[in-house]
Amino acid sequence: MEIFHPKEVGHRSALMRVLQDGLRPDGAAFPIEAEYPLVLGQGKEAFSYCLGTSEKPLAHANLWPRRLIGGTPSADLRIGLVGNVVTHEQYRGQGLARELLEGLKQEASKHGLKALVLWSDLNAFYQKCGFSSCSEELRWLIQVPRRENSVNESQVVLQHEPSLELCAALLASRLSLGPTIERSAKEFQTLLRIPEVSLMTTEATTPRAAAATFTIMGKGCDMIGVVHEWGAVDAFALVEQVRAQGRRLGYSEVLLLTPARLPETWLEILHKQSSQVQRHPMALAWCHDDAARKVLDHSFIWGLDSI
């Protein structure tokens, strides 16, 4: 057994089959690489780690080095995002995923990555592999009235091909409440092309004005009916646009994800405007040291960064 990157053409197609079968067992309207273009797209093989024999991938995980920025300068931290963890169905229960994750930890230490972060409901499995909950987010349930009420829906617009200028403005418009993942406008533009991503902005003539309030809902097969990334002039404007997103797709309610540490005025408004709120761990993490955990526990990672 060895850990390798899927360099050969044959590796890549075998790997995509393992990923598709393991992670999308019910099928999907698009290939899995379209959902994760920055780690599974052509030319991104260095972010894929396979475990197998005779160069046949039996287990896989992505490791994507990223920088956590914001907050204080000392908060800047290089971390690895982990995703698309899967073991070929016939080889499960033999310790392959655990061995691969141990390999990723060694790789992280070798490259100065101070933590590995991932998103999953398989808490028991990841706890056995040394991961535990990190940071917190709030999940607000927002009801979507069928008829338009106060919302003037002509003031929002769905963006299909956002320009780089708009992407840069969207990045600047996100609420900055501590460390988050560094992302370029170009990377943002690529992420916004993931199937089922719905980007809504304010209707305006300049990118900056358009980005003043924006919401992003959905992401491939994940985050259906969930607004996972946004920027807003105030909490009212945010909720109005969350409802406009839901109304467009015929949802009766939408989940809005926010950092736990919101300004008091935002919390007050969101409590009034939502029917339910849950505090939830933001992600699972393995940390190299306590200092890294401290920074991570203050971080908020936006939805399009999760892999």
Ligand X SMILES: CC(C)(COP(=O)(O)OP(=O)(O)OC[C@H]1O[C@@H](n2cnc3c(N)ncnc32)[C@H](O)[C@@H]1OP(=O)(O)O)[C@@H](O)C(=O)NCCC(=O)NCCS
Residues that bind ligand X (CB under 6 A): 22-23, 59, 85-87, 92-98, 120, 122, 124-125, 128
Pairwise CA distance, residues 298 & 303, whole Å: 16
CA distances from residue 87 to 2, 20, 138 in whole angstroms, order as listed:
14, 11, 31
User: For ligand X, which is the closer residue by CB, 87 or 202?
Assistant: 87
Nearest to 198 by CA among 167, 238, 228: 228
Nearer of residues 12 and 92 to ligand X, judged by Cβ:
92
Q: Which is nearer to ligand X, 94 or 276 (CB)?
A: 94
Smaller CB separation from ligand X, 98 or 208: 98
> What is the spatial distance between Cα 112 and Cα 138, in angstroms, rounded to a whole number?
31
Smallest gap from Cβ 217 to ligand X, in A, equals 21
Beta bridge partners of 253: 143
Cβ 92 to ligand X, closest distance in Å?
3
Residue 83 Cβ vs ligand X, minimum distance, rounded to whole Å: 7
Q: Is 262 helix (H, G, I), strand (E, B) or coil?
A: coil
Q: Which is nearer to ligand X, 79 or 199 (CB)?
A: 79
Contact 35, 43 (CB under 8 A): no
- Which DSSP helix (H) or strand (E) runs through 231? strand 222-231
Token code pair at residue 105: 């930890």
* DSSP per residue, 87-129: E-GGGTTSSHHHHHHHHHHHHHHHTT--EEEE--S-HHHHHHT
Both tokens of residue 197? 């991503």
Tell me whether residue 98 or residue 248 sits nearer to ligand X (CB atom): 98
Closest approach of ligand X to the CB of residue 122, in Å: 5
Strands 56-69 and 77-87: antiparallel
Strand partners, 283: 134
3-class SS of residue 183: coil
Structure tokens at 7: 């360099």
Minimum distance from residue 243 beta carbon to ligand X (Å): 31
Task: State the nearest-atom distance from the C-beta of 288 to ligand X, in Å.
Answer: 21
Closest approach of ligand X to the CB of residue 146, in Å: 35
128 vs 193, beta carbon nearer ligand X: 128
Give least dist CB 65 to ligand X, A: 19
Distance CA(15)–CA(31), nearest Å, equals: 12
Residue with Cβ nearer ligand X (226 or 235): 226
3-class secondary structure, 70: coil
H-type alpha helices, 205-278: 207-210, 235-249, 264-273
